[in-house]
């Protein structure tokens, strides 16, 4: 299969241009529908296309394409079509040397383009699998609801997720086999307003209460500890006027650790009241961690032999839907199969054109090793 990489990469660049040409911030239904229509058109004619209810209400339905063959294994290719870039900041794809620059290029429309190309290659080889499916969701970038699809695909033999790829410091290709659990903590403060000049003592300052809560969260951070917990206050909002004791506000914090349970002590450290201000703390987003090192080691060894160069098992702190699939029962889950690039979520987001071919080779090698008799 690896010999198909050049063909796959050539088409992937054109399809990446089309996908990035559509502004699709998470939650925008028209943008999601246009991207889904493009992705469906890029699937092989043999694919059965269906729309699945999105995990997040009021979002466009997710897209699933399925191929049925005469083999024995089931493999899921996973990606997302939504970006974090608002319409006003959207950049269509442009080329600068090896860099293909555009909104969502690396996170993760480049990976989507490779996954769709892989589906076309699999369509020509139905004897390799019982079922091959690609799932493209529209809410990965900001989902607080429970992931809806883990149970639906839990009986599959493997999940290959096409988030951005990477290389090691020595230049070897790497894939992601370990991710931290991720949580978003929100603290709402409910105090009492008062004139900040004539009667500040009559107020209950929500801003000060949130600042105290932020200090407690930061103090819980223990990146060198057994769970590698990071607890970082990231957003604070409070107050409406310069001369009024702020009566309400919100604090948002990003929590990461090897396991979700390690986040519990951070919530437990927050009081329900601070100097008369009520504090309501809740974990509004909780994504499981992933550790598929043992399950994927034999597959990577076989794929490395087919590829003819090293494949390194790596870990990453960022969250991914691959973690949901691993937690839902697909022990053999690999992530980071997409092209290399940088600047995710930033105006200069880019994908390496050269990596479309080298990462296609890697994805084809992994798939061939996975599906070989």
Q: What is the mean pLDDT of residues 340-357?
A: 95
* Average pLDDT of the residues in 308-325: 94
Per CATH, the architecture of 181-287 is what? Answer: 2-Layer Sandwich (3.30)
Yes or no: is domain 2-180+289-371 CATH 3.10.20.740?
no
In contact, 67 and 81? CB cutoff 8 Å: no
Residue 69's pLDDT is 97
Per-residue pLDDT at 79 exceeds 90: yes
Cα of 170 vs its chain's centroid, Å:
26
| pLDDT tens track for 146-205 | 999 999 999 999 999 999 999 999 999 999 999 999 999 999 999 999 999 999 999 999
Stronger pLDDT, 245 or 144, i.e. the higher one: 245
Average pLDDT over residues 32-41: 98
Domain edges within the chain: 2-180+289-371, 181-287
Q: How confident is the model at residue 228 (pLDDT cuts 50, 70, 90)?
A: very high
* pLDDT at residue 26 tops 90: yes
Burial track 144-157 (b if 16+ CB lie within 10 A, e otherwise): eeebbbbeebeebb
* pLDDT at position 349 over 90: yes
Mean pLDDT of 4-15: 96
Q: Which residues make Cβ contacts (< 8 Å) with residue 174, sequence separation at least 6?
A: 165, 166, 167, 168, 311, 312, 313, 314, 336
Average pLDDT, the chain: 96
For helices 5-20 and 353-371, the axis angle rounded to 10 degrees is 120
The pTM is what? 0.92
Q: Round to whole Å and give the CA distance between 344 and 323.
A: 19
The per-residue pLDDT for 309 is: 95
Q: What is the pLDDT of residue 254?
A: 97
C-alpha 134/C-alpha 116 separation (Å) is 8
Show the 3-state SS of the chain: CHHHHHHHHHHHHHHHHHHHCCCCECCCHHHHHHHHHHHHHHCCCCCEEEEECCCCCCCCCEEEEEEECCCCCEEEEEEECCECCCHHHCCCCEEECCEEECCCHHHHHHHHHHHHHHHHHHHCCHHHCCEEEEEEECCHHHCCCCCCCCCCCCCCCEEEECCCCEECCCCCEEEEEEECEEEEEEEEEECECCECCCCHHHCECHHHHHHHHHHHHHHHCECCCCCCEEEEEEEEEECCCCCECCCEEEEEEEEEECCHHHHHHHHHCCCCEECCEEEEEEEEEEECCEECHHHHHHHHHHHHHHHCCCEEEEEECCCCHHHHHHHCCCCCEEECCCCCEECCCCCCCEEEHHHHHHHHHHHHHHHHHHHCC
Q: What is the pLDDT of residue 1?
A: 83
Q: How confident is the model at residue 117 (pLDDT cuts 50, 70, 90)?
A: very high
* Predicted pLDDT at 318: 82
Residue 72 contacts by C-beta under 8 Å, 6 or more apart in sequence? 129, 130
Residue 373 has pLDDT above 90, yes or no: no
């Amino acid at each position: 299969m690896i010999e198909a990489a050049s063909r796959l990469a050539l088409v992937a660049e054109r399809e990446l241009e089309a996908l990035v040409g559509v502004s699709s911030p998470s939650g925008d239904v028209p943008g999601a529908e246009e991207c889904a229509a493009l992705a469906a058109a890029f699937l092989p004619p043999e694919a059965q296309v269906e729309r699945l209810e999105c995990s997040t209400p009021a979002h466009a339905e997710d897209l699933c394409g399925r191929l049925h063959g005469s083999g024995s294994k089931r493999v899921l290719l996973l990606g997302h079509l939504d970006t974090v870039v608002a319409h006003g900041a959207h950049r269509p794809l442009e080329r600068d040397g090896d860099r293909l620059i555009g909104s969502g290029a690396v996170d993760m429309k480049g990976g989507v383009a490779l996954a769709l190309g892989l589906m076309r290659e699999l369509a020509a080889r139905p004897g390799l699998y019982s079922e091959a499916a690609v799932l493209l969701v529209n809410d990965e970038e900001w989902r607080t609801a429970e992931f809806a699809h883990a149970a639906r695909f839990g009986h599959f033999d493997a999940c290959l997720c096409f988030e951005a790829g990477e290389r090691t410091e020595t230049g070897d290709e790497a894939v992601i086999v370990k991710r931290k659990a991720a949580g978003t903590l929100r603290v709402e403060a409910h105090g009492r307003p008062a004139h900040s000049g004539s009667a500040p003592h009559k107020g209950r300052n929500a801003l000060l209460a949130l600042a105290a809560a932020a200090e407690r969260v930061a103090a819980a951070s223990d990146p060198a500890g057994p769970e590698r917990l990071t607890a970082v206050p990231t957003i604070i909002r409070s107050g409406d006027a310069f001369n009024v004791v702020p009566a309400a506000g919100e604090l948002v914090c990003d929590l990461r650790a090897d396991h979700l349970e390690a986040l519990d002590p951070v919530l437990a450290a927050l009081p329900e009241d601070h100097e008369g201000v009520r504090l309501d703390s809740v974990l509004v987003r909780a994504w499981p961690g992933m550790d598929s090192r043992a399950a994927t080691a034999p597959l990577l060894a076989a794929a490395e032999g087919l590829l003819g160069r090293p494949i390194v098992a790596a870990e990453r702190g960022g969250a991914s839907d691959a973690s949901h699939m691993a937690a839902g029962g697909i022990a053999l889950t690999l992530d980071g199969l997409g092209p290399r690039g940088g600047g995710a979520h930033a105006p200069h987001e880019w994908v390496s054109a050269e990596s479309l071919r080298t990462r296609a080779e890697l994805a084809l090698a992994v798939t061939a090793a996975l599906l070989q008799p």
